[in-house]
Amino acid sequence: MPTPPATPYYITTPIYYVNDQPHIGHCYTTIVADAVARFMRLAGHDVFFLTGTDEHGQKVEKSAASRGITPQELADENARHFVTALGYVGATNDDFIRTTEPRHEKQVQRVLSTLIESGDFYLDTFEGWYDEGQEEYVTENQARERDFTAFNGKPLVKATEENYFFRLTKYWDRVREWIEAHPEFVQPDARRNEVLGRLRDESRDVPISRTNFTWGIPVPGNEKHVTYVWIDALLNYMTALGLVDAEAADMDASRHHYWNASGPVVHFIGKEILWFHAVIWPALIMALRDAGRTDLHLPDAVYAHSFWIREGQKMSKTLGNFIDLATIEAYCENFSRDALRWFLLTQGPLGATDADFSHSRFVEVYNADLANGFGNAASRVTNMIVKYFDGQCPDDRGDPTNGDYNWPEITGKMIATATGQMEQLDVAGALRSGLELSNRVDQYINDTKPFKLAKDPDGMPEVGRILYHCVETLRIAAILMLPAIPDASQEFLTRIGIDPTSLSSSSLTWGGVQPGAAITKGEGLFPRADVDAPPPEVSASGS
């Protein structure tokens, strides 16, 4: 029977502003999306993982001017830093979209002309407040609530301008009803309630063009207006797949299937940009649908995580305490890239509360989960196979059970649990399920004591049986943890005779390790870290 085509899975990160250099926050969202993408590929999905940079807007124009370079030069320079950051953290994105690329700009212009024609974008005068840092319009009420202060602490700016507006009022109730009827659309729950609360206020249209600067996509037919950066940016999720107008963008239809009814469309973002993704974005898709430009369904999930703070303090430019690329590099060099990914993924702010990046916690988690956890179990098992069986994988003599330990059942359940958790975007939970399996192996060794049984030559068949159970269970644990610790996981798989480049959904069934395969022990995957050592030194040059 031919295998059915794999279900698509489309996952995105925000596209990051190029007026700043990448820091731990950007890396975090990227790593979370990367872990889901890696897991879904292993589970047999046809994944498209998108990230990129948001390059237009007043902030970029101003930052460039203050450095005496053009906005495009600034964008080119910082887009390169973001690509470097992706390399550091091991992101497996399928594309990197930049909003200054012609393929994007041409499609954004198609959206503008479509919606101006349909009447959902119209010309009017805006009077109100503007948060320059966030590139966000603020109502009188909100401005008062925030004490006329912008997100970055600076004063809000009073603006009176002729703008194009988006008729959000027309879609307000439809968006609210959608969110009410689809509890998984905005996650986690606390964020969903927040958005629903705001949707209970009176609706208003939103300005979507600017005339007081030029660094943006010109509005077709009225070029003194440039497109508001947020409309430009949100559309990247469609333009990267050629979904607005592939032909105009010199693309073909080969990516269209990534956003269709059979596969999920998932946006990972930080909590501060939830309104744009949970309200403006679905409204924009509805408007495009009403205008007949698209028949796309709304995204399945907008997951808005909370923030990393550092040693108990908010990270900010003023405090100068961002965990920047140089610090990230130092952690990767000292502890490994896997160690950084594991910490961020399992301790990160996926839920509704912020998470603290503290060095002591980092070392504690590293030692507990990786050095004394998976790393120790892996070396215990491979060492014993090398010592007692000359590195030749023993077999389980046809019995994968031992007393209370029914290994196919234990591993099968854990695979199902982890898969369910990942489908629910409980990334940390899914990864911990992998670790739990590895911890079960440790427990099993303590319970059955193969090192004692090996003292009697008659005990060797039983030792072999136990060690087969161990190595096979660790194979599955390593695959479940691979989305977080790809380097160590692949190294371990290679040591036990598994080709890590040929993993597929069938790798997640009992019996993958071949009896007789050559097993090597190699160096410890995660050497123990000294809890008293100071944080890694950051080189002054940075990157």
Binding site for ligand ME8 (CB under 6 A): 14-17, 25-26, 28-29, 54, 233-234, 236, 269-270, 272-273, 307-308, 315
3-state secondary structure of 190: helix
Which positions ≥6 away from 342 have C-beta within 8 Å? 365, 366, 369, 370, 431, 484, 485
Enclosing H/E stretch for 237:
helix 236-239
Amino acid identity of 264?
P
CB of 58 to ligand ME8, least distance (A): 13
Amino acid identity of 446?
N
CB of 302 to ligand ME8, least distance (A): 11
Q: Among candidates 352, 358, 267, 345, which has minimal Cα distance to 306?
A: 352
Amino acid identity of 112?
L
CB of 213 to ligand ME8, least distance (A): 17
Return the number of the residue (275 or 307) whose C-beta is nearest ligand ME8: 307
CB of 50 to ligand ME8, least distance (A): 11
Give Cα separations from 457 to 115, 176, 435, 453, 460 (angstroms): 80, 71, 33, 8, 5
CB of 188 to ligand ME8, least distance (A): 14
CB of 341 to ligand ME8, least distance (A): 15
Return the number of the residue (188 or 270) whose C-beta is nearest ligand ME8: 270
- Contact assessment for residue 54 and residue 240, using Cβ atoms and an 8 Å cutoff: no
**Which DSSP symbol is given to 538?**
P
CB of 54 to ligand ME8, least distance (A): 3
Return the number of the residue (99 or 367) whose C-beta is nearest ligand ME8: 99
Nearest residue relative to ligand ME8 (C-beta): 25
CB of 41 to ligand ME8, least distance (A): 22
d(CA 74, CA 55): 9
Q: Please, what is the end-to-end C-alpha distance for the chain in angstroms?
A: 52
Q: Which residues of 137-147 are buried (b: 16+ CB within 10 A; e: fewer)?
A: bbeeebbeeee
- Contact assessment for residue 70 and residue 18, using Cβ atoms and an 8 Å cutoff: no
Return the number of the residue (271 or 449) whose C-beta is nearest ligand ME8: 271
238-243 contacts at long range (C-beta below 8 A, 24 or more positions apart): 238/107, 238/294, 238/296, 239/97, 239/103, 239/104, 239/107, 239/108, 240/50, 240/52, 240/95, 240/97, 240/104, 241/10, 241/48, 242/103, 242/107, 243/294, 243/296
d(CA 512, CA 496): 10
CB of 236 to ligand ME8, least distance (A): 6
d(CA 209, CA 218): 9
d(CA 405, CA 155): 64
CB of 385 to ligand ME8, least distance (A): 42
Return the number of the residue (308 or 362) whose C-beta is nearest ligand ME8: 308
Return the number of the residue (79 or 115) whose C-beta is nearest ligand ME8: 79
CB of 129 to ligand ME8, least distance (A): 19
Q: Is the dihedral of CA 368, 374, 375, 376 positive or negative?
A: positive
Return the number of the residue (285 or 525) whose C-beta is nearest ligand ME8: 285
Return the number of the residue (49 or 374) whose C-beta is nearest ligand ME8: 49
Token match 């047999």: residue?
Answer: 44
Return the number of the residue (79 or 377) whose C-beta is nearest ligand ME8: 79
CB of 26 to ligand ME8, least distance (A): 5
Burial label for 202, CB within 10 Å (0-12, 13-18, 19+), is: exposed
CB of 51 to ligand ME8, least distance (A): 10
Return the number of the residue (230 or 468) whose C-beta is nearest ligand ME8: 230
CB of 469 to ligand ME8, least distance (A): 40
Task: Write out the two tokens for 304.
Answer: 């808005």
Return the number of the residue (25 or 264) whose C-beta is nearest ligand ME8: 25
Return the number of the residue (185 or 389) whose C-beta is nearest ligand ME8: 185
- Contact assessment for residue 54 and residue 96, using Cβ atoms and an 8 Å cutoff: no
d(CA 233, CA 231): 5
Return the number of the residue (21 or 209) whose C-beta is nearest ligand ME8: 21
Q: Is the dihedral of CA 61, 223, 250, 113 positive or negative?
A: positive
Burial label for 220, CB within 10 Å (0-12, 13-18, 19+), is: middle
Return the number of the residue (316 or 509) whose C-beta is nearest ligand ME8: 316
